[in-house]
Amino acid sequence: MAEFKSFCEQLSKIELHAHLTGSIRRGCLHEIWLDRKEKDPAFELQDPLEVIPADGVTDIMAFFPLFSKYIYHLCNDVATVGRSTTSVLHDFHNDGVVYLELRTTPRHNAATGLTKTAYVETVLRTIAEFPGAMKTNLILSVDRRDSLETATETVDLAIRYRNAGVVGVDLCGDPTKGEPHVFRTIFARAKSAGLGLTLHFAEIAATSSDAELETLLSFGPDRIGHVIHVSDHIKRRIATMDPKPTLELCISCNVQVGLDPRVQEHRDHHFGEWWREGTNPIVVCTDDVGIFSTSCSNEYLLVATHFGLSEQQLWELAFGAVNSIFADDVTKTRLCEIFLSWRENNM
């Protein structure tokens, strides 16, 4: 176990399903909270160390309100957005991630003067100024609860900043809300503009009917995330699509909050089934390292421990993610060089 842990920590890795806000560590949020309390003793939010469990959130009912009612109110201006983004970048870089695609829903706050444009520009500027060798790009997320007008605004921003570090669009948010079919046209426009498309897919049973999942697949996604509650019919569709979508599989979060009642332990996670069948590319992802108290290295350790992957297979899994990134061919070539050099020097 110790050898695998060290291997996973040192392994060069690619992270493609990381929500910016959910990846902010408790410690960073605590420091921001302390600053806010010092400037305004009447600031009413609780200490993040009291609100976010040290071992990670385990209650799905507490998950989405944690963002809308807490973190968004703590990081709600240019300074705190920039500070928290820098912290997230350092955490992934220090964990051996060599390429990162962060995703976030553009936010605004009238009280602080934060506009959606300023939010996106702040995140992109922070990424550009990050001193580490890790390459980072941005995905802008449409929330399922958004109106078509709001979603269109997000896609407009993604297209506007297409040459400044935005590489894709995402559909995310509370899976019990919204009607995804209303976003078909704007996602088609995003793809036509050269942006990648990734969708949160079959997260909970209540909104994983074949009809809804067929609608999502009709968007032509390049990648789909979670992929938990799929019927045999949908599974066959995913496996036979051309081109085949990459599966962004998140181990810790799915198990911790019990998104699938059939999964009682990590070894029950559907990663094993998809990995054994080998029909679609798989990328191991974290979802929200801050909320679930995990890391990219830990997710690789989990698949090694519970699904019997060897060091060679772990390297192949990490290396295979290169083909699924939304970046240009120059970046892909550079990443291939990094992975091949790492294998030569470490295996």
In sequence order, what are the beta bridge partners of 284? 249
Q: Which of 311, 317, 310, 319 is nearest to 339 (CA)?
A: 319
Q: Give φ, ψ of 145 to 5 degrees.
A: -80, -10
- Active site annotation includes 129: no
Q: Which of 124, 103, 104, 107 is nearest to 116 (CA)?
A: 107
In sequence order, what are the beta bridge partners of 103? 19, 139
Cβ neighbours of 54 (radius 10 Å): 7
d(CA 110, CA 48): 23
- What residue type is 270 in one-letter code? H
Provide the angle, in degrees to the nearest 10, between the axes of the packed helices 311-320 and 296-307: 130
CA angle in degrees (0–180, nearest 5) for 308-260-245: 70
d(CA 304, CA 268): 14
Candidate list 15, 203, 248, 299, residue with the active-site label: 203
Q: What is the dihedral of CA 255, 258, 261, 265, to 10 degrees?
A: 30
Which residues are part of the catalytic machinery?
A: 203
